[in-house]
């Protein structure tokens, strides 16, 4: 019995076979290769569709008056003798961000907020304000602000006394307040540059 040639594909004709058998094998080879190619394309297309379906789309943002913002008055994270208050920014739109040093998405988000606030400047049309919540050790919050060069103040709320008034259910959460002191939007989760720019353009 002849041994198979290791260098020959299963679809390659055997020279010892009759011509009709060689033609049949070649026809089967072409069909098999076509089916394999079609199946491969199908798998790639299905994988792409599934990937697109599983990606979370960017939530649609819209401005909606939700009433006056609750009072906010807290000691500063960096200096307990300084009070952080919304009243200081009355007449300006405010981007109010609730965060914690223990929160991974907050750490992902803070560089974007810090950079944007730096670009707008402390005397810009829009003011930035933070509330650090549930940090037992103030030093951890200070370290995070220093790490990202956060230029705007944050109030220290370790027991959620003020945070609960804003109905914050998770961190990070950002609340958008217009120049009249009314809440006009909120975003749960780490902000993207697209969402942040929407609110910078639409806050008044």
Q: How far apart are CA 81 and CA 10, in angstroms?
A: 83
Q: Are residues 32 and 90 in the same domain?
A: no
Please indicate whether residue 7 or residue 79 has the higher confidence score (pLDDT). Answer: 79
Strands 73-75 and 94-99: unpaired
Q: Are residues 180 and 83 in the same domain?
A: yes
The pLDDT of residue 50 is 42
Q: How many domains does the chain have?
A: 2
Using a 10 angstrom Cβ sphere, with 0-12 exposed, 13-18 middle and 19 or more buried, the burial of residue 107 is: middle
The pLDDT of residue 136 is 94
Q: Are residues 85 and 173 in the same domain?
A: yes
The pLDDT of residue 9 is 52
Q: Are residues 49 and 142 in the same domain?
A: no
pLDDT digits (tens, 9 = 90+) for 32-44: 444 444 444 444 3
Cβ partners under 8 Å of residue 133, min gap 6: 98, 99, 100, 157, 158, 160, 163, 168, 171
DSSP β-bridge partners for residue 198 = none
DSSP string computed for 10-76:
TTSPPTTS-HHHHHHHHHHHHHHHHHHHHHHHHHHHHHHHHHHHHSPPPPPP------BPPP-EEEB
Please indicate whether residue 123 or residue 148 has the higher confidence score (pLDDT). Answer: 148
The pLDDT of residue 33 is 45
Q: Are residues 196 and 165 in the same domain?
A: yes
Q: How far apart are CA 131 and CA 146, in angstroms?
A: 15
Task: Give a yes or no: residue 62 inside a domain.
Answer: no
Q: Are residues 101 and 180 in the same domain?
A: yes
Does the CA dihedral 99-101-105-107 come out positive or negative?
Answer: positive
Over residues 164-181, the mean pLDDT reads: 96
Q: Are residues 110 and 19 in the same domain?
A: no
Q: Which residue range forms the structural domain that includes residue 130?
A: 73-202
Task: Give a yes or no: residue 60 inside a domain.
Answer: no
Domain containing residue 94: CATH number? 3.40.30.10
pLDDT digits (tens, 9 = 90+) for 152-167: 999 999 999 999 999 9
The pLDDT of residue 40 is 42
pLDDT digits (tens, 9 = 90+) for 98-134: 999 999 999 999 999 999 999 999 889 999 999 999 9
DSSP β-bridge partners for residue 174 = 97, 187
Task: Give a yes or no: residue 5 inside a domain.
Answer: no
Q: Are residues 50 and 85 in the same domain?
A: no
The pLDDT of residue 102 is 97
- Mean pLDDT (the chain) is 82
Task: Give a yes or no: residue 147 inside a domain.
Answer: yes
Strands 83-85 and 94-99: unpaired
Task: Give a yes or no: residue 42 inside a domain.
Answer: yes
pLDDT digits (tens, 9 = 90+) for 13-68: 556 666 555 555 555 455 544 444 444 444 433 444 444 444 445 566 788 889 99
3-class secondary structure, 197:
helix
């Amino acid at each position: 019995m002849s041994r198979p040639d290791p260098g020959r594909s299963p679809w390659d004709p055997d020279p010892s076979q009759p011509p009709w058998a060689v033609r049949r094998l070649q026809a089967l080879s072409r069909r098999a290769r076509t089916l394999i190619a079609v199946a491969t394309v199908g798998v790639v297309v299905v994988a792409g569709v599934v990937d697109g379906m599983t990606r979370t789309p960017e939530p649609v943002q819209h401005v909606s008056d939700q009433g006056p913002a609750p009072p906010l008055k807290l000691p500063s994270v960096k200096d307990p003798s300084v009070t952080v208050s919304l009243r200081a920014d009355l007449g300006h739109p405010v981007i109010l961000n609730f965060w914690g040093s223990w929160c991974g998405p907050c750490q992902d988000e803070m560089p974007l907020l810090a950079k944007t606030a730096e670009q707008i400047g402390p005397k810009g049309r829009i003011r930035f304000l933070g509330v650090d919540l549930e940090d037992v050790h103030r030093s951890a919050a200070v370290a995070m602000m220093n790490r990202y060069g956060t230029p705007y103040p944050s109030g220290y709320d370790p027991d959620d006394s003020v945070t609960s008034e804003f109905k914050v259910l998770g961190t990070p959460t950002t609340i958008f307040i217009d120049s009249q002191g009314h809440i006009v939007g909120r975003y749960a989760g780490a902000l993207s540059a697209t969402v942040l720019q929407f609110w910078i353009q639409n806050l008044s």
